[in-house]
Structure 1
Amino acid sequence: MLNGIGYGLMLFLLAAGLTLVFGIMDVMNLAHGSLFMGGAYVAAQVHTSSGSFLAGLLAALAVVLLVALALEALLVRHLYGRDHLAQVLATFGIILVADDAVKMIWGPAPLMASSPTALVEPIEVLPGLPYPSYRLLILGVGLLVALGLYLLVNHTRVGMLVRAGASNRAMAEFMGVRVGRVFSGVFLLGAALAALAGALMGPITAVQVGMGEEILIPALVVLVIGGIGSVRGAFIAALLVGLVDTCGRAFVPMALRAVLPPAAVSDVAPLVAGLAMYALMATVLAFKPAGLFPARG
């Protein structure tokens, strides 16, 4: 369950950027997963070269922010106000370019990423329950970022400007708000969150080509369950999806072994566990079609 909460918090970092960009800017950015992948690769490379995990994390944030700045200026800015089909096609093209760029720079083989040497030893969180200290770091960072996002969006002037631009862009511009700059800042914030998630997930998952597309699907599920544009909804939905997905993979095989032969369990269990988060999404949408906490009631 701790693993599920940690996975959910990393999904939240990715889904929060997605829900801000889509819910506030009305831009469906499928390339968000590629920013996640870029953060993982840069952090792993710099950490391996320098021996400093913090240097890798900062380098990942800096590089991905520069890439996102160019992406927003050259492509995303021209997609504001366009239909979602144009946005999906354009940003899907970025996925293909990003995957090939990673192959050219790092090659097709997975890149090894290690956790910080200071966080190798486990910590006994409960009597008889040692838990990896690096995963505890992930839990702490995820919770701090969630709190920071809540305060930023709901209790700062910047958050007020963001909400104003999302609610009525024309009126906000008449009132003197530079909505274009606000939207650019939102896009960069989402990119930074994706890079942070990629850098933190690198040591506990495979840093490889296509990892951004793999995690983009659960992030979109979180976006739908939580309600588009809602940071609070993304947080709760990410925890639900993380717990359902991780606990499903852990406990479904155990339950099936009681009623099925081992050969059948090995075939059926991964399928059932993989469908768990989609079953959760279908159940939520059956009762709340707009998600748990839609930003626009």
Structure 2
Amino acid sequence: MSAALALEQALNGVQLGVMLFLAAAGLTLIFGVMGLINLAHGALFMTGAYACAFLTRETGSFWLGLAGGALAAAAAGAAVELLVVRRLYGRDHLDQVLATFALALIFSDAARWIFGPQPLWLDPPAALSGAVPLPGGGAYPAYRLAIIAAGLAAAAGLHALIARTRLGMRIRAGESDREMVAALGVNVALLYTAVFALGAGLAGFAGAMVGALRSVQADMGEPVLILAFVVIVIGGVGSVKGAFAGAMLVGVTDTMGRALLPALFERVWDPATAAGAGAAVASMLIYMLMAAVLVLRPKGLFPADG
């Protein structure tokens, strides 16, 4: 593999990583603060993508669609917390899993009913439709670089929110001792709604940006949800720093594995067999990584209580 191709694949891994971070950060915050296993989180990712595609088509502005996708997902998350999730906090995790899985199915069927069974297609903005030259030759899509920049900016903003604001202080306190936070006069119900909306908005923002890279369809959130859980396990439940580290590891490992393994296996097998074996092994790499992390650090790389 040439240096230019290796750099391109590394950038693809970082781009996947920042998308997974935006999805996983909200999920790990929700679990860390509320103790809730939310299987509807992927549906909120999908909501952002559909809202962005719809608003872009109606207004002609991708940027309005992007903002609207994040806001629509945040509003949907707040509504879900107020109407359904609020009744699950004191329930068993099995009840939470069943209820949020039902919500995911409802969101998916609603998307098919409203937008139809066919995928929607969303083009990147014209200003980012070109490519940027890479060192050593080759070029990289400007829109993917913009996704990396936006994801890193969102990560920095979320870190600042958690570390330096009053809301962030309450979120961190809620992770440590919810009863004490309530005893100090904090409106815990409002805090939970805000955290849920924040997590949903981040997922929706990720879905809106990804919608311009692939088709927007009702089941697009399911693979993201699975990878987000892998990220959380690797990084540490309830840890935003862990979610970022886990997302980068998963993104780069998955992308580089898919790029390198088929070529490596061609030294042993014919190209067709090597391509199939490489793709199969590459799909398992992130789970092997998760297993290794669990053996060495059962609480993840950066656990919230560490």
Scaled by the length of structure 2, the TM-score of the pair is: 0.94
Q: 1:39 aligns with which of 29, 35, 48?
A: 48
Q: Give the C-alpha shift of residue 81 in structure 1.
A: 2.1
Q: Distance in 2 between matches of 1:60 and 1:137?
A: 17
Mapping of 1:142-221 within 5 angstroms? 142-221=151-230
Give 1:234's aligned residue.
Answer: 243
> What is the alpha-carbon distance in structure 2 between the residues aligned to residue 266 and residue 124 of structure 1?
29
> Partners in 2 of 1:295 and 1:69 — Cα distance?
24
Q: How does 1:65-144 map to 2 (within 5 A)?
A: 65-144=74-153
Unaligned runs of 5+ in 1: none
**Aligned equivalents of 1:289, 1:62: Cα separation in 2:** 36
Q: Which residue of 2 aligns with 1:292?
A: 301
What residue is the counterpart of 1:61 in the other structure? 70
Deviates more, 1:256-265 or 1:243-252: 256-265
Deviation of 1:63 after TM superposition, in Å, equals: 2.0
Pairwise CA distance, 1:25: 1.1
Q: Give yes or no for contact 2:124–2:212 (8 Å, CA) kept in 1.
A: yes
What CA distance in whole angstroms lies between the structure 1 residues aligned with 2:79 and 2:134? 44
Using the alignment, how far apart are the partners of 1:245 and 1:127 within structure 2?
Answer: 24
Deviation at 1:127, TM superposition (A): 4.4
Deviates more, 1:21-30 or 1:156-165: 156-165
Partners in 2 of 1:159 and 1:120 — Cα distance? 37
The answer to whether the aligner puts 1:278 opposite 2:270 as a matched pair is: no
Kindly indicate whether the alpha-carbon contact (under 8 Å) linking 2:159 and 2:240 is maintained by their aligned counterparts in 1: yes
Identity percentage of aligned residues: 50
Q: Spell out, residue by residue over 1:264-291, the C-alpha distance to the aligned partner (whole angstroms, 9 max, x if none).
A: 2233222111001001101111100010
Structure 2: stretches of 5+ with no match in the other structure: 1-9
Distance (Å, rounded) in 2 between the aligned partners of 1:228 and 1:222? 9
Find the counterpart in structure 1 of residue 27 from structure 2: 18
Secondary structure of the structure 2 residue equivalent to 1:131: strand
**Matches of 2:174 and 2:128, distance apart in 1:** 42
- Corresponding letter in the other structure for 1:94: L
Partners of 1:294 and 1:165 in 2: CA distance: 16
| Kept in 1: contact 2:254–2:286 (CA 8 A) | yes
Query: Following TM superposition, by how much is the alpha carbon of 1:37 offset from its aligned partner in structure 2, in angstroms?
Result: 0.5
Q: 1:263 to 1:122 in 2, by over 3 A?
A: closer
Aligned residue type for 1:210? D
1:74-94 deviations in whole A, cap 9, x for unaligned? Answer: 111111122211110000001
Q: Distance in 1 between matches of 2:154 and 2:202?
A: 9
Tell me if 1:250 matches 2:229: no
**Are 2:121 and 2:214, in contact at CA under 8 Å, matched by a contact in 1?**
no
Query: Counterpart of 2:287 in 1: which secondary structure?
Result: helix
**CA-to-aligned-CA distance 1:192-225 (integer Å, 9 cap, x gap):** 0011000001111231121101111111000100
Q: Which amino acid in 2 is paired with 1:229?
A: G
| Cα distance, 1:251 vs structure 2 | 1.1
SS at match of 1:204: coil
